[in-house]
């Protein structure tokens, strides 16, 4: 039986001038069936109220703090209170907020990196298991149709045994000390107390790590990292080059940077098997290149029948006919659709379709935190090659 009401969404973070909270708000309602009804939108309670007003929410459900939000929402009857919360605050807040909402019985969508360190990530994994609530992690790049096609090709064996993975995420926006100019996004990202042990590697290196494991199904087994801080006075890495070795023996290179001048969000991945290769670019996401040593390169285009024949997940993630570009918002919406369909299945005591369960979860979040800590350990070590942290 289908759920006969909208799911009710709450949000923590996403106050005036914030970046990603608004993306979550737009993407979560793209397919209907979700309504934002409550929030603690800002670290400053006054600004939280201001944001709630702009969103035309019931003022009684716009809270000064997330703790107030939990208490007040619990007082509402089931069906009226929020079904899930989206956490879009800086990294240091992810764990306490996710833990407290899960323990109060709410489902959670959380921004990456999932927690502040591996210890918190392991604790969160236990809490998700214990509470049996749905937990989603916003590694949005896994939401693209052509990434899903790449995954189905790579995991389906079309490339042959995978030998080499090259993944990059260069940006240039932190190539000067933007954090000293009042930029909200730059200031917490470069502060170890809010960002965590890593800067660039935690912020965008984890997206690259997650994408490589999502598409191939392989796991990074060890790595050798070289992080740098180029901008004077900065405390956290703003550039990193990492050699990888995967659990099937494949070799890899991952580089992430926020000082690569002129680059915007140039996330891209190349995967080479014994028979074929794949190439995908986030800034041109509707195309997947399939390479063959003995034939011309093929361009697979989103929204066509030949994609549908190969990947049910790519079809589910496609909204528009081919040639009408889909991108960032749609990829977020695809993560939301699978996450919320899984919540609906739970609420109606039905088994979620495996396609619905295709969204990043707490285990991916733990991998991300283990990746960060392994990279930090390798950077400091003289041995360099470092086993992936357990």
Q: Which of 8, 66, 356, 362 binds ligand NAD (CB under 6 A)?
A: 66
Per-residue tokens: 223: 């790595």
Query: What ranges in 196-283 are assigned the alpha helix state H?
Result: 200, 206-216
- Residue 330 sits in the site that holds ligand NAD (CB under 6 A): no
Count CA atoms within 13 Å of residue 11 on its CB side: 27
Contacts 24+ apart (CB under 8 A), 374-379: 374/223, 374/225, 375/198, 375/201, 375/205, 375/223, 375/225, 375/227, 375/240, 375/242, 376/197, 376/198, 376/201, 376/225, 376/227, 378/223, 378/224, 378/225, 378/242, 379/225, 379/226, 379/227, 379/237
Q: Which of 27, 42, 307, 331 binds ligand NAD (CB under 6 A)?
A: 42
CA atoms 312, 318, 319, 320: torsion sign: negative
From the CB of 245, what's the least distance to ligand NAD, in Å? 27
Q: How many residues bind ligand NAD (CB under 6 A)?
A: 25
- Residue 91 sits in the site that holds ligand NAD (CB under 6 A): yes
Q: Which of 9, 12, 37, 149 binds ligand NAD (CB under 6 A)?
A: 12
Stretch that binds ligand NAD, among 90-98, 153-161, 240-248, 297-305 (CB under 6 A): 90-98
Q: Which of 9, 27, 37, 40 binds ligand NAD (CB under 6 A)?
A: 40
- Residue 89 sits in the site that holds ligand NAD (CB under 6 A): yes
Within 103-122, the residues that bind ligand NAD by CB under 6 A are 111-112
From the CB of 209, what's the least distance to ligand NAD, in Å? 13
Round to whole Å and give the CA distance between 142 and 136. Answer: 12
Contact (CB, 8 A) for 173 and 378: no
Count CA atoms within 13 Å of residue 42 on its CB side: 16
Q: Which of 28, 140, 210, 258 binds ligand NAD (CB under 6 A)?
A: 140
Stretch that binds ligand NAD, among 10-18, 153-161, 223-231, 297-305 (CB under 6 A): 10-18
Within 194-233, the residues that bind ligand NAD by CB under 6 A are 203
Q: If we measure between CA atoms, which residue out of 345, 375, 349 comes closest to residue 359?
A: 345
Q: If we measure between CA atoms, which residue out of 124, 92, 86 comes closest to residue 108?
A: 86
- Residue 124 sits in the site that holds ligand NAD (CB under 6 A): no
From the CB of 103, what's the least distance to ligand NAD, in Å? 17
- Residue 185 sits in the site that holds ligand NAD (CB under 6 A): yes
Q: Which residues bind ligand NAD (CB under 6 A)?
A: 12-15, 18-21, 40, 42-43, 66, 88-91, 93, 111-112, 138, 140, 184-185, 188, 203
């Amino acid at each position: 039986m289908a759920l006969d009401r909208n799911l009710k969404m709450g949000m923590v973070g996403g106050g005036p001038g914030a970046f990603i909270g608004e993306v979550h708000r737009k993407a979560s309602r793209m397919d209907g069936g979700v309504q934002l009804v409550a929030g603690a939108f800002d670290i400053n309670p006054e600004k939280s109220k201001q944001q709630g007003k702009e969103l035309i929410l019931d003022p009684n459900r716009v809270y000064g703090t997330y703790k107030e939000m939990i208490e007040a929402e619990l007082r509402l009857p089931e069906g009226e209170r929020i079904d899930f919360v989206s956490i879009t605050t800086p990294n240091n807040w992810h764990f306490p907020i996710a833990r407290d909402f899960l323990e109060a019985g709410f489902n959670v969508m959380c921004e990456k990196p999932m927690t502040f360190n591996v210890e918190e990530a392991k604790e969160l994994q236990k809490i998700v298991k214990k509470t049996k609530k749905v937990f989603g992690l916003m590694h949005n790049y896994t939401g693209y149709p052509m990434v899903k096609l790449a995954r189905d090709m790579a995991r389906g064996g079309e490339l042959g045994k995978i030998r080499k993975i090259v993944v990059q995420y260069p940006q240039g926006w932190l190539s000067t000390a933007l954090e000293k100019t009042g930029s909200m996004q730059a200031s917490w990202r470069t502060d170890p107390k809010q960002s965590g042990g890593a800067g660039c590697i935690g912020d965008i290196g984890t997206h690259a790590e997650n994408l490589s494991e999502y598409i191939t199904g392989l796991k990074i087994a060890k790595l050798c990292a070289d992080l740098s801080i180029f901008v004077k006075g900065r405390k956290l890495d703003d550039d990193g080059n990492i050699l990888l070795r995967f659990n099937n023996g494949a070799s890899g290179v991952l580089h992430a940077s926020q000082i690569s001048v002129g680059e915007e969000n140039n996330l891209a991945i190349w995967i080479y098997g014994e028979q074929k290769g794949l190439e995908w670019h986030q800034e041109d996401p509707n195309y997947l290149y399939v390479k063959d040593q003995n034939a011309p390169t093929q361009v697979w285009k989103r929204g066509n029948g030949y994609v549908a024949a190969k990947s049910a997940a790519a079809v589910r993630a496609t909204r528009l006919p081919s040639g009408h570009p889909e991108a960032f918002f749609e990829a977020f919406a695809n993560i939301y659709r699978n996450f919320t369909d899984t919540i609906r299945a739970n609420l109606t005591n039905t088994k979620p379709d495996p396609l619905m369960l295709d969204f990043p979860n707490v285990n991916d979040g733990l991998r991300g935190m283990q990746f960060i800590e392994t990279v930090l350990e390798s950077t400091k070590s003289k041995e360099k090659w470092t086993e992936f942290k357990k």
